[in-house]
Amino acid sequence: MSLDGAAAERRGTIQSVDRAARILKVLGRGSARLGVTEIAEQLGLAKGTAYGLLRTLEAQGMVEQDPDTDKYRLGPAMLQLGNAFLDNHELRGRSLLWADSLASRVGEAVRVGVLNGSTVLIVHHVFRPDNSVQILEVGASIPWHACAIGRAIVAYLGEAEVEAMLGDSPFEPLTGRTLVDPAALETALIEVATRGVAIEDQETIVGEVEIAAPVFDHRGRPVGSIGVVGPVERLHVEGTSSSLATAVKETARGLSRDMGAGRLAARG
Binding site for other proteins (CB under 8 A): 28-32, 122, 132-135, 137, 140-142, 173-178, 205-208, 231, 233
Residue 215 beta carbon to other proteins: minimum distance, rounded to whole angstroms: 21
* Nearer of residues 177 and 219 to other proteins, judged by Cβ: 177
Q: How far is CA 26 from CA 74, 102, 246, in A?
A: 10, 37, 43
Residue 28 beta carbon to other proteins: minimum distance, rounded to whole angstroms: 7
Per the CB < 8 A criterion, the answer to whether 58 and 64 are in contact is yes
Residue 35 beta carbon to other proteins: minimum distance, rounded to whole angstroms: 17
* Nearer of residues 65 and 175 to other proteins, judged by Cβ: 175
37 vs 15: CA distance, rounded Å: 19
* Nearer of residues 113 and 268 to other proteins, judged by Cβ: 113
* Nearer of residues 131 and 194 to other proteins, judged by Cβ: 131
Residue 262 beta carbon to other proteins: minimum distance, rounded to whole angstroms: 34
CB atoms within 10 A of CB 76: 10
Q: Which amino acid is at 27?
A: L
